[in-house]
Structure 1
Amino acid sequence: MIPPEPPRSPQLGFLYLPPFRVQGYSIAGEETFVQIPELDVCFDLGRARRAMLTSNHVALSHGHMDHAAGLAYYFSQRHFQGMRTGTVLCHPRMEKPLQDLMQAWIDVESQHTPYKIMGMDPDGEEFEMKNHYFLRAFETDHTVPSLGYVVIERRSKLKPELVGLPQEKLKALKESGQEITNIKEVPLVAYMGDTGPGSHFRREDVQAAKIVITECTFLDPTHRDRARVGKHLHLDDLIKELGSLSAEAVVVTHLSRRLHLGQARDRLDQAVPAEHRGRMHLLMDGRTNKQRYQQQLAEAEAEEARMD
């Protein structure tokens, strides 16, 4: 009798939320990473799959292995493939243990793999990823030290009273030390890895983010106590926050592996108020997300044809 083929790797979750792709894999206790290629950032890194290696920045929510196991491999593979050294951001209490982990691999491999690990002050410290784009850290509530993050875009706009002035005049004002622009902060994406409910959902930058990516491990009405003990979110907790979130899309990650996706879809349909249901997405709901993407493609092609 011919033996069966080995199991195939699970397909990554994917959502196109213009102008960003949100892609990755997230099952509670197994693996979590969520990458946004357009922002050059990956939230958590799971086992450091090939897809996420291209991100120059990794924002670790906490140190549990399903979120952080791929740390050494991330640095090693980027070095092996000739990429520049990536930067891993983390809670300050994780910084030294993670650096010690990398040092241990030097002894194991008898070679030095370059790495960059930086602790982030949970009281709003920022890291500039590229011009005008910043990653801001904040405290979340889990069983171990944990962070959430907001990607902020800072846009500069000429002050209204200076509009219409010739360039020579504007240049002279700037050279004299006068500020000629106003800076506007635009929260683009908020991410919360493992966390229970708390005041972090009521931060202004989280509430104003265009996309909110958050764990919601438990959906079953009978699992509220399990969520509380493990400091995870229950669907009831998330529903309470939806009214204050202005996000165009709320992406749910970290579902329990015991929950079938069909059951998860049904539970959202039953529990989430109708006015919020359209912006709720399950990252790992491949069937629904593929249908949505195919519709986006068809609409884009129709628009291109109309423009021609």
Structure 2
Amino acid sequence: MGPEQGGAQEESVILISDDEAESPLGNSVLLVEPLQKPILEDKKAEEIVDEECELVVTFCKQGKVMPHARYDCMTHPFERTECETRSPLENNANICHQCYCYICDKLASECQNWTAPSHCHCNAHNKSTFWKDQRGLALAGVLVMFNLELTDIDSDLRQGGNLLIEFVHELSVEYNKYLVGERVSPNSHECFCHPKRGPGQCNICRQRHVELIYRYSGVFALVTTFLNQAEKENPKAAAVMLLGAAKEIALHKDPAQNLQNLGVSASLRTAVPCLMERITTQLQRMLVLCDFPKVLYEKFISFFQTISLPCHCYAFSNRYVLCFYWLNVITRWT
């Protein structure tokens, strides 16, 4: 890094430590004071020894600012606290062109929550348990529900997580439409309450003759398309997609007070067990045949076991229990 003083640039060296705990300030960057004379003269290197860092510097040149977390910036001082999300502390909002957001892992200038109230990513640093958890949640995304460590997440799992997030958003919209229902007039327009009046002439009880129908067909079609897409992905991504879909549809409720016989895909009480049957069959085959890492395999099994089946899936529960029995047996064998 080369600050200018009096029109001349001073050369200095940035040393990056592997162990941040050794630094009294908690920084991973150490600035060595500018040298008074060139080190390399006549092809001979004059050794300069820094006893505190146990390093020998034999050559240096004008430093270049490298990408760094905001708390490691040597241009703008940083104020540390355990958790402050209300507003920027001191000069924490100030950045240089290479400052990165610790939470988002992108340039601070591109962080939408850099100074946003209740977020304030500019105050984030690696010595805070709170901010470490926020970073893990941001980087893991939806995969956090599988209790995965950041070291467990590879490009395949992240692909499945990204597809699952898009699906959850689309599913939420379609499910809300289902909950609203659609008003359909009965086949007979005759008023049985007032038989002397002709069809459509009974304004007193017209609302009583309008039925509210809840068709699950739109949700069923969306989930089916998503499951078809999962079959084309690699095993890790597909497993994330299947497990996520199973959790979402298991939470769906039937708002109809009476049983509405609308067909297999249009009725939630028959559509959800059908979808769960397909998901379980695919997962069972995948977990047996695919060579998942043991830790990942166990976390997938553990997550699947936490899914609570709704009452309309009781008929499916025997297969559900049997599936896990064999998967647990396989786990013990391996």
Q: Shorter chain as normaliser: what TM range?
A: under 0.3
Q: TM-score, normalised by structure 1?
A: 0.24
More strand by share: 1
Specify the structure having the higher radius of gyration (Cα): 2
